[in-house]
Structure 1
Amino acid sequence: MRISVTHQVEIPATHKLELYKKAPEFGPKILFFSGGTALRNTSRELIRYTHNSIHLITPFDSGGSSAVIRKAFGMPAVGDIRNRLLALADQSITGTPEIFKLFTYRLSQSKSQEELHSELQHMATGGHPLVQPIPAPMREIICNHFKHFLKIMPDDFDLNGASVGNLVLAAGYLHNNRQLDPVIYVFSKLVQVYGVVHATINKDLHIAVRLQDDTVIIGQHCITGKEMPPPASPIREIWMTDSLDDSTPVHTAVSDKTKKHIAEADLICYPVGSFFSSVMANLLPDGVGEAVAANRCPKVFVPNTAEDPESLGLSVVDQVRLIRRQLALSGAPNGSDTLKYVLMDMEKASYTYPIDTEELESMGVTVINCPLLTQSGDTYMDARLLAEALLSLS
């Protein structure tokens, strides 16, 4: 089908997709500012066409087992990084399905700390049923990480409900002088990750938001509506803080490596997912906006089709303005190209917010109407359709 009078692109671009599928190792570098699990299925679809997608992940998760690890060691969250690594892993490689099972396993919520500590020790020896099937040398590498974690684990560390994959990555982070890249690299090789996974920043910071009623909320877990009630008023702005106890804004710059990833992208996507804690949070560090503006590739926003508690009261126009404003705050020059296209399924999706296409066009934003849902009434986008649409635009 043909889409948009002002942007003639065929979606799906069948010929282009066939070429990508034949040689995914040469596929496009589609960059996502994301976090959480919203792109998990899309990531799995992408590796059929490209092994070069780039995933800049937020390290701000402050809930669940991530909160326990962060409090104990003063480190960034690794749970979303783990999720994306596994989503991009080649499940056909020997040992990968076994590592997937181990890394998605959570310790019991009901057993005693002594029992859980004993189970972790069993994993460290390699005799645990989830560890034993993993072939060497993968098993030895993982066991060494368990041993290191047991060595540094505080006596009062709460293992109830702990994500085993998070414990392994935390051990690797602490063993590598508090650097995320080395441990991401090791496990990318272990499970043959087809793409690049990179934390936006490597610092122990949190996020805070201000609502339209001037209420300030600190901590990602208090914003998403998963562990705590969702914000009762629309979110007006977001910033980084040093701790969960102080809302004072702090600034930090992205690394040269992050800038390089952005500069190399063939397409930049602000994807579906929690709008503030996943997408906007990635745009906070200084230098992000400058790097995005300097890259002349297409920049695409994909609004949620499912309900997002963080988008309460925000239209697509509002979200576009917020993205552009945040990129300007992180270095994008006035009037620069930071968001050009909005990808929507106007036929089958039931968006929960107003869609003013004329206002978007007046802002210099082209709405691209294409199939993203399998059938009318679906809540979530079809991973294959979304992946093929982005690949067609790259």
Structure 2
Amino acid sequence: MADGCLGPAACKVLQFSLPLRFNPTAASAAAAIAIASSSSTCSRSISMTSPRSTALHASVNPSQPSLLVFSGGTAFNGVVEDLKKLTTRVAHVLPVSDDGGSTAEIVRVLGGPAVGDIRSRCLRLSDESTSEALAVRTLLGHRLPLDALLAKSEWYRIVEGEHPLWKGVSRPYRETIRAFLAYFQNQILRRSSESFCFSNGSIGNFFFAGARIFFQSLDAAIFLFSRVSGIPTESLVLPVISTNDRLTLGCELWDGTIIRGQNEISHPTKGSMEPINKECSSVQALPSRIKRVFYMSSEGKNLLHEVFPTANPTVLEQLSEVDCIVYAMGSLFTSICPSLVLLGIGEIISSRSCLKVLLLNGSHDRETSGFSASCFVTAITDALNRTYGDSNNCLNNLPSDYINALLVPRDGQIPVDVQNLAAQGIFHVITVDSIYDPKVGPTFDSKSLIKALTDLIGEYMSML
């Protein structure tokens, strides 16, 4: 990208200093100029073409298989790099209900959907082929200190453009990124009644939030982030629900207990801003197993304040077209199931004759204590059938309509009850080499996992 591509006007409006000389009007103008002034002469210019249009008409290699992956923002991240060697035609579907850590602070003060999982996946997919790409990735992946005062001080140095993290980022990219960071800061200052805590804050989350509020569109914010971070156009990062509203995940336990909030279900932190500890032994066990997850608001349609958001149309469109559907490893009820309980998801998956594979976790967590492999299958089937939700929206499909292959990490802690799986109609169970992570236990060896997926996809596609 040629220096000065955005023109002198963008440089002028960005000449401000925080916090005393912050100019919100300038920040808004800078954001608009940064987008509107992109040029075809820029090697990585930002185009405001419709994200959906771009997704559907991107130039792709038809020899690569197309995948749709349901996952959260952590467990599957370790596979993303090796997955690129199989295909870049991947639609990553992620929930927008995460309410832990610094994401919770953004949602508390500014509202809107949680973007932490989406930001995390975007960073894993981002370009790192040049020194500038690496510099942008490092900047957007940076977290502020846990100490609130140190975090606020470092944040001002970053948004003012004085932090060493800007080294290696050319002026056009610096202006574009700073414009949205400044817009995010402006939104915080406008809510003077709420004191924002920058502790452990993610710069990528702040950029994302600024873009979403500026465009009033989560899709547009993802599109901008994807272009800034150099994600291949055929690799899609899709929120399962396309919304500007705050979404709260709830769960009902088998003993009737209702828990409100994704973090309270999976990794309760009692309001701490520290990084979430996902070791099974670090949190208290649930009093009863989880029966179902659902979405809640303060003005729901029943006593549980349950609401029924609409699935992202692009997710439904991709589900109808891909060669393989993957339920990734991760938090079963708070990362995977929130994407499965929406209207239309179960209908489309059950109608497809493609490969549908579950990647089994290597260890138990708070949500799945005592589960066997068939319990995972049952939970996914119940979520897609919406078995325990509104009786008018329930399906009655078989487990084999949703899952036809199971990949299991070698030496994993989840019992693989082959007879129960066979009773569910699942006979294709493949053991994959694993590695031992001292924090979470056995996990898939990513290269072995991708090879197993490659072989499975090839086998199923050869049968068509």
Decide: shared fold, TM above 0.5: yes
Pairing 1:206–2:270 present: no
Measure the CA separation in 2 of the matches of 1:247 and 1:333. 24
Please state whether the residue corresponding to 1:239 is helix, strand or coil.
Answer: strand
Residue 115 of structure 2 contacts residue 208 of structure 2 at CA under 8 Å; is this kept in 1? yes
Q: How many correspondences in the alignment?
A: 366
**Deviation of 1:277 (Å):** 0.5
Higher relative contact order (CA 8 A, sep 6+): 1
Q: Which residue in 1 is equivalent to 2:70? A: 33
| Structure 1: gaps (5+ residues) | 1-22
Q: Which shifted more, 245-254 or 266-275?
A: 245-254
Flag the 1:359–1:198 CA change in 2: closer, same or farther, 3 A: same
1:46 to 83, 86, 89: 83
Please state whether the residue corresponding to 2:166 is helix, strand or coil.
Answer: coil
Q: Which residue in 2 is equivalent to 1:57? A: 94
Identity rate of aligned residues, in percent?
Answer: 28
Residue 208 of structure 1 contacts residue 218 of structure 1 at CA under 8 Å; is this kept in 2? yes
Measure the CA separation in 1 of the matches of 2:114 and 2:256. 27
Residue 240 of structure 1 contacts residue 284 of structure 1 at CA under 8 Å; is this kept in 2? no
Flag the 1:39–1:244 CA change in 2: closer, same or farther, 3 A: farther
- Which amino acid is the alignment partner of residue 351 of structure 1? Q
CA RMSD of aligned residues (A): 2.5
Q: Which shifted more, 306-315 or 76-85?
A: 306-315
Residue 94 of structure 2 contacts residue 239 of structure 2 at CA under 8 Å; is this kept in 1? yes
Tell me the TM-score normalised to structure 1 length: 0.86
Residue 364 of structure 2 contacts residue 370 of structure 2 at CA under 8 Å; is this kept in 1? no
Flag the 1:40–1:252 CA change in 2: closer, same or farther, 3 A: same
2:213 to 167, 170, 174: 174
- Which amino acid is the alignment partner of residue 297 of structure 2? D
Q: Which residue in 1 is equivalent to 2:156? A: 121
**Deviation of 1:41 (Å):** 1.3
Measure the CA separation in 1 of the matches of 2:236 and 2:212. 17
1:160 to 199, 203, 217: 199
Measure the CA separation in 2 of the matches of 1:141 and 1:331. 46
- Which amino acid is the alignment partner of residue 67 of structure 1? A
Residue 152 of structure 2 contacts residue 199 of structure 2 at CA under 8 Å; is this kept in 1? no
Pairing 1:143–2:178 present: yes
**Deviation of 1:337 (Å):** 1.9
Measure the CA separation in 2 of the matches of 1:206 and 1:304. 25
**Deviation of 1:111 (Å):** 4.2
**Deviation of 1:374 (Å):** 5.0
Flag the 1:101–1:165 CA change in 2: closer, same or farther, 3 A: same
Residue 25 of structure 1 contacts residue 51 of structure 1 at CA under 8 Å; is this kept in 2? no
Q: Which residue in 2 is equivalent to 1:238? A: 293
Measure the CA separation in 1 of the matches of 2:435 and 2:370. 27
Q: Which residue in 2 is equivalent to 1:188? A: 226
Residue 80 of structure 2 contacts residue 124 of structure 2 at CA under 8 Å; is this kept in 1? yes
Pairing 1:86–2:123 present: yes
Flag the 1:147–1:332 CA change in 2: closer, same or farther, 3 A: same
Structure showing greater radius of gyration is 2
Pairing 1:371–2:409 present: no
Q: Which residue in 1 is equivalent to 2:328? A: 271
Flag the 1:379–1:244 CA change in 2: closer, same or farther, 3 A: farther
| Structure 2: gaps (5+ residues) | 1-59, 270-282, 387-392, 458-464
